[in-house]
Amino acid sequence: MRIGMLTGGGDAPGLNAAIRAVVRAAHQAGHRTSGIRNGWAGALEGRIDELLPRDVRGILPLGGTVLGTSRTNPLKEADGLQRAMGQLTSHGIDAVVAMGGDDTLSVATALHETGYPVVGVPKTIDNDLSATDFCIGFDTAVGIVAEALDRLHTTASAHHRVMVVEVMGRDVGWVATMGGLAGGADIVLIPEYHVGLDEVVEHLRRRRGEGEDSSVVVVAEGVRMAGVETGSGVTDAFGHVRLSERGVGDALSRAIEAATGFETRVTVLGHLQRGGTPSTVDRIWATRLGARAAELAIDHCSGVIPVRRDGDVAVVPLADVLEQRRVPKELYELTRLFG
């Protein structure tokens, strides 16, 4: 059989490890593989090329994705699914391994429901897929946030400033929470739990009154707060606002300085969280999940996805991961102990 692979949505460190694993596992079992370029756009356009084991040598430590990616949504295109299936069939693809988050996997689920064989692989910096303890890219992103906070604490202290650090997190605050805990943030703000501007200001004033003349505030990019005016931004093919245009970090920084008089600066980590070498955790688990996805496709399974659960690989229906996984209250409350 021939297995086609695609990576959709935002790139993430560890995707190349998963691609490599699918290719190696499939070829070792006597099967063939093809790369679908630029996510679902490649499926619609027929940008599909054979992918051999020699093509994936040396890609394990590379960030990004050698297949390219896009936010194209076939479900929003006229006869999108039918066109994609036609291209996949004409290129001899017997099954698709789709690596992505809820948007990419929602298309994969729809394709499976038409009868076309599809297996998923969980990938999202935001770590917001249910039924799995791990999403490719999350561990690396948290490490980058923690390192950035380590550096920003020293410059904040030197200048007696408040530093606002905007990190990824559209609807959930996993990166902000875990990165903030690891990097010693004084305040963490996430979409799941409302904290008002007045509470932030009071907290910063209390710290200053206790002799702490600098503070680091971590805010997830999707946070909405009364009194903090953000931009609107354009939407993508899945209806998501481009959060870089909302500018919550910059808006919060201005609001804090206006309310407290404390010199305040903002750092937007943005795509730094996606780029560069994947962590060892991302490499290992992407490899394990990619290899298992290949095995599932070879066994003619469809509409399923390998996930990490309790330290091992489990297999669940694709639909099970599409529900959003939110930061539990008790974990978020832990961040409030250290401000």
Higher-confidence residue of 230 and 335: namely 335
Looking at the structure, tell me whether residues 6 and 126 fall in a common domain: yes
Would you state the pLDDT for residue 192? 96
Looking at the structure, tell me whether residues 43 and 97 fall in a common domain: yes
Sheet holding 118-122, edge to edge: 48-50, 32-36, 2-7, 95-100, 118-122, 304-309, 312-317
pLDDT(304) > 70: yes
Looking at the structure, tell me whether residues 152 and 110 fall in a common domain: no
Would you state the pLDDT for residue 233? 63
Looking at the structure, tell me whether residues 218 and 240 fall in a common domain: yes
The H-or-E segment that residue 219 falls in is strand 215-220
Looking at the structure, tell me whether residues 145 and 112 fall in a common domain: no
Looking at the structure, tell me whether residues 226 and 291 fall in a common domain: no
Looking at the structure, tell me whether residues 151 and 258 fall in a common domain: yes
Looking at the structure, tell me whether residues 172 and 264 fall in a common domain: yes
pLDDT averaged over the chain? 95
Lowest mean pLDDT segment, chosen from 159-168, 190-199, 240-249, 291-300: 240-249
pLDDT digits (tens, 9 = 90+) for 185-238: 999 999 999 999 999 999 999 999 999 999 999 999 999 998 787 776 666 566
In a domain, 333, yes or no: no
CATH code (residue 54):
3.40.50.450
Residue 139's closest CA among 268, 21, 13?
A: 13
In a domain, 327, yes or no: no
Would you state the pLDDT for residue 242? 60
Q: What is the reported pTM?
A: 0.93
CATH code (residue 266):
3.40.50.460
- Of all residues in the chain, the percent with pLDDT exceeding 70 is 96
Would you state the pLDDT for residue 338? 80
Would you state the pLDDT for residue 128? 95
Residue 225's closest CA among 175, 172, 189, 264?
A: 189
Task: Show which of 252, 273, 294 is a domain's final residue.
Answer: 273
Range of the domain at 305: 2-137+278-321
Q: Tell me how far the alpha carbon of residue 168 is from its chain's centroid.
A: 8
Looking at the structure, tell me whether residues 149 and 196 fall in a common domain: yes
Active site residue 126: yes
Active-site choice (11, 102, 103, 126): 126
